[in-house]
Amino acid sequence: MSQQTAPLILVLCTGNSCRSHLAEGILRAASGDKLLVASAGSKPAGYVHPLAIKAMAEIGIDISDHHSKHLDEFLSHDVETVITVCGNADQVCPMFPGQINRHHWGFDDPAHATGTEEEQLIVFRRVRDEIQRVFGAYAAGRLDEAAKSVL
């Protein structure tokens, strides 16, 4: 499947600084070129949290080139699936052109972690690992589904 025909999966959270970028990176890595994956926020923070970048680098996924963006940037795109990873984004999420699926899988916001950088990083790792379990399973299911439709 080429990049042009791959379905677009949009991962949303409020600030688009942590959870949605963790999920975007994990889903992109797990699905290869079978899915186009992007993330956005309803109130973008304007940056990707440095500890999110660090936590992902620990598992071999580079999100250092990601940037925070508003969900409105995708209103003219054919978004096949929208996945919200926080309650606020789930509540304000619009319908997108071509949208077929919508899922809500909520995760704690690691940006609210307190303490030393190492203590905060522990929270980022926990949330990253939770997201990896859910989005890894989702990617496996989508890849199985795509393989069956080819047969």
Q: Which of 30, 93, 127, 139 is catalytic?
A: 93
Q: Which of 9, 23, 86, 139 is catalytic?
A: 86
The answer for residues whose C-beta is within 8 angstroms of residue 37's C-beta and 6 or more apart is 8, 9, 11, 24, 27, 28, 31
What residue type is assigned to position 32 of the chain?
G
Closest CA to 6 of 143, 148, 144, 151: 143
93 is known as an active-site residue: yes
86 is known as an active-site residue: yes
13 is known as an active-site residue: yes
Q: Which of 13, 23, 53, 113 is catalytic?
A: 13
- What are the catalytic residues? 13, 86, 93
